[in-house]
Structure 1
């Protein structure tokens, strides 16, 4: 074991691998920045823009869902920075209604948009830029964990064209930034443990605070770091353990103002996360977990069950890769356990295990689907990629020619699958990580109409979906929105009337005066026609 590890530490990437990594870095940057505005600006991203604008959801409903007719352009101010609201209002909007999302990313995006504009591509471009920081961070983490440059370079190669990471690098959400804080914090911890300087522990404390102000699950990451450190220190209260506790305490202390806000908002957080508490069958959970792991390396066969006729350019034959990827991941963990020292494999196992247990067990025992949302399990996925990278690095230096050629082929297949996946998804206007799947097609129907009025209410998820939809509608479109159980007084001055996702009651009331024609599947869009007298 130690002999293989010693060889791996001294092994320098061959020319073919260095050339491949340079090409992949170029491709990775290209995939992160190409067609930033092509995919639908999703329900969740629209809420990001609402927070950036400084308005609360309550204010938006009061001012827009009041039965008045608004032009699409008039509603845009709730999706971008404006003169009526300041930066402090963005923070207040989160604190009052959405404390589960700390403010760091939202503040950064607001400042970004104030300088560079309000387009969808501009908004998402900050996430794409932030995602590039993950490359040096994962390289540093691998050097600290494995002391192997070839492992570090293979990790970078896998990350550059990972479909999972590319998708979230193009989303106006905080998860790309969280990925960077996970890698940076883990690398800083390992270096602080190794060298023990106060400056390094200070850097780690800063990463703890940054992680917490990015996403609340960073608290779990800090706990996992602590479990790892106690384990390698044999559960003794050593100088290193003391330094960790001080640094972590400083990081958490810096987060105290937002912790108090979260505590005061627990009831609101519980209400907004109800949808994630729906019990799922074991088969659904297991297939979801396996599928999500496979999307780290390949994702060009995704089938959207709710909207199967949408524009998803999938290659479904690629599904045969799923069991092969699962076998590769399991073998990578076994190989890591057998071939590395305890402090190496324990780091990967503990960080993966903590998030796996904390998210999966409640879904199994209580019921829910939080563990099916891959963005929440990002630290686990990071460690899966680390294990696979170590396996590939160790095997391509094998003394057996056949083994070297086989694992070089595995690298080519994995990387090719990632490139194909990124190329395929880049051409789509929606993908599995997006909500509001139907909006692009609905917008095309409405935009083709002459002098259209779009009518809707606050039913179900309409608020976020309508905020998503306005990014696709032409300025000529007018909107009339109400809060149920109110029914709008529809003007007679419009040539065509549409109703977006009406509730059964809302539809029944309209049918007293109008004939409703379903113009988009799944009852997402209806056309109103005056009943003949």
Structure 2
């Protein structure tokens, strides 16, 4: 509304233009990027197929086609909502059901294509704009800062990529923004009344409901509830006050509402450990810090897998300096009511994710989706810095700050525009190179792709089904013992085979496995026969 009523002002015109471009970039080429491993499991959860169910039908050594793979990714009228809940409980108990329930109904309403399933996240991502404006207003009561934050988020390659992904994180972003805004509102309402009136109770009950919804979208919502609690305790000087008591009761209500899925999680805890075993992988500490710094930079500029370039290093260093100064500037120029929550949102995920990875090992912090609360707080800090410099008439070097804003906005815009034309992105992680794998296989005549259940093969094979030519055949194996190559294929490929399976094949007379392609997550071999 403010953009419309102030449309004659060049600043508001610019913000509106950036917002329109950001919305356009969210919807363009929704089906261009690879439908990657994790999105495949979104479809499998929605359709209601248990892992054992579809793997037993596909990984049985028979020669199958692309359509055989995709059968399990499409709606089956015989599968109900109960099947979806059952799959989540048994196969992925660490993924609460709300997002999957909503997308299931979305899919029934609008169709079964990649565009449709991704469009739910895209539409949800549009609610980020009013939500983040409201959050900034509750913090600063300044429309300029809110509008600059909208501009930063609108053209951010990070938020655009997650807005185009069939996962729960766009929806989660909206809810955590509303939750933070409502917390600030509840605190202010409580501070303005001596007695606990119905209005106060209503505010805190809504806050409870928002946190419960957030938990039913993602377990990572603890990274919102914990910093909110720490913030309130600090704000009240570590005293037991109306606000700390009401927030404590509110969080308790949220947890009680979430108990049904907590029970599911506890009952299937072993499956959770198996599903998240990848987080225990140990890599050098400097590598963790490097990727964490890189992910912060990706809020503003799209830096893909390659990091070993001078330009990328400079971008990361400059961004970290700017972020550090923005946080310092925020603390120096606002009250704890403002900077306290922002700082808690930044520090808590770092303490709970990055530090454990550095101390005991693991790669939890390398998944930037878990750091969304931290990144939102960083965006708001940057927006406060830039907005303050623009509206302060005494600010020296205002032209320099205007140039900095122009660089950030144009850099994000160009990055996102380039990203929109690519068939993969750094967020696709373990499936990043599958388009290249598909190109290699599609160039050959009469190809057969063989794979076992090693590593991420199950999801990646499903993902490849959207990229391979219809004439490509597949043979998926659950047991590779005494395996013999089938006749009638000119080119035979192996996708990320176990070393045992590959060496077993090479022992057969006249066979040799030639390396074709690899990245850190997958490899492709061709059998010379």
Structure 1's unaligned 5+ residue stretches are 1-11, 309-314
Aligned match of 1:294: 297
How far did 1:265 drift? 2.3
Aligned length: 510
Q: Work out whether residues 212 and 258 of structure 2, in 8 Å CA contact, stay in contact via their aligned partners in 1.
A: yes
Describe the shift of the 1:223–1:463 C-alpha distance in structure 2 as closer, same or farther (beyond 3 A).
Answer: same
CA RMSD of aligned residues (A): 2.2
CA displacement, residues 128-162 of structure 1 (integer Å, 9 cap, x when unaligned): 11111100000000000111111111111111011
Of the structure 1 ranges 194-203 and 136-145, higher mean CA displacement relative to structure 2 is found in: 194-203
| Counterpart in the other structure of 1:183 | 177
**Corresponding position of 1:222:** 225
Q: Shift of the alpha carbon at 1:360?
A: 1.8
TM-score by length of 2: 0.91
Instruction: Summarize the Cα distance change of 1:400–1:350 in structure 2 as closer, same or farther, 3 Å threshold.
Output: same
> In the alignment, what sits opposite 1:200?
203
Gaps of 5+ in 2: 1-5, 191-198
> Which shows bigger deviation, 409-418 or 102-111?
102-111
Q: 2:463 aligns to what?
A: 468
Residue among 426, 434, 443 paired with 1:439: 434
Mapping of residues 312-391 of structure 1, within 5 Å: 317=311, 319-391=313-385
Match of 2:212 in 1: 209
- Decide whether the 8 Å contact of 1:487 with 1:506 is kept in 2: no
List aligned pairs for 1:511-526, cutoff 5 A. 511=506, 512-513=508-509, 515-516=511-512, 518=514, 520-522=516-518, 524-526=523-525
Following the alignment from structure 1 to structure 2, what is the Cα–Cα distance between the partners of residues 289 and 115? 39
Match of residue 135, structure 2, among 127, 138, 141: 141
Q: Verify: 1:73 aligned to 2:61, yes or no.
A: no
Shift of 1:518: 3.1
2:38 & 2:482 partners in 1: Cα distance?
Answer: 27
Cα distance in 1, alignment partners of residues 164 and 284 from structure 2: 31
Q: Deviations over 1:152-180 (max 9, x none)?
A: 11111111011111111111111111111
Residue by residue over 1:188-218, the C-alpha shift from the partner in whole angstroms, topping out at 9 and shown as x without a partner, is 1111111242332222112101110111011
Counterpart CA distance in 2 for 1:354 and 1:519 is 44
TM-score normalised by structure 1 residue count: 0.90
Counterpart secondary structure, 1:217: helix
Q: Distance in 1 between matches of 2:123 and 2:249?
A: 32
Q: In the superposition, relative to structure 1, how do residues 223 and 527 fare at CA in structure 2: closer, same or farther (>3 Å)?
A: closer
Aligned-partner SS, 2:492: strand
- SS of the aligned residue for 1:497 comes to strand
Deviation at 1:14, TM superposition (A): 8.9
Q: Is the 8 A contact 1:497 1:527 kept in 2?
A: yes
- CA drift of 1:244 comes to 1.6
* Matching of residue 392 in structure 1 with residue 386 in structure 2: yes
